[in-house]
Amino acid sequence: MPTPVVVTAYFHPAPGKHDQVVEALRPAIAAVHEEPGCQLYAIHDAPDGTIVMIEKWTSVGDLDDHGAGEAVRALNGSLQGLLASPTEVTRLVPLPAGSEDQGQL
């Protein structure tokens, strides 16, 4: 069975562009939810105005396919001029601990 992959992506909106970044992300979210291997793809607001995407993929292969897919290309295009700095993306491998339901994403 493949090892799941959790991803965090930090989007730093340019001044005054927070709502536009959120609206640019929404269509990508709907499209990505239909991709094979997508278990979680959700955005959250951080206190400093950063938008944090948390993702979970069934396998590295599914994540790699996602990264090369149309939804990501379209999203990158729609974010042009809206970010103060490049998106920070980190791939994480779960280290389960505690209960099966609560010890991992």
pLDDT at 75: 92
Instruction: Indicate the SS3 state at residue 87.
Output: coil
Partner residues linked to 64 by β-bridges: none
User: What is the tens place of the pLDDT at every residue in 33-61?
Assistant: 999 999 999 999 999 999 999 999 999 99
In a domain, residue 31? The reply is yes
DSSP label at 13? Answer: B
Report yes or no on 100 lying in a domain.
no
Please give the pLDDT value at position 104.
Answer: 78
What is the sign, positive or negative, of the torsion defined by CA atoms of 65, 58, 96, 53? positive
pLDDT digit string, tens, across residues 58-98: 999 999 999 999 999 999 999 999 999 999 999 998 888 88
Q: Quote the domain boundaries for residue 22.
A: 5-92
Domain count along the chain: 1
3-state helix, strand, coil in the chain (%, to 5): 30, 30, 40
- Nearest CA to 39 out of 62, 9, 13, 8 is that of 62
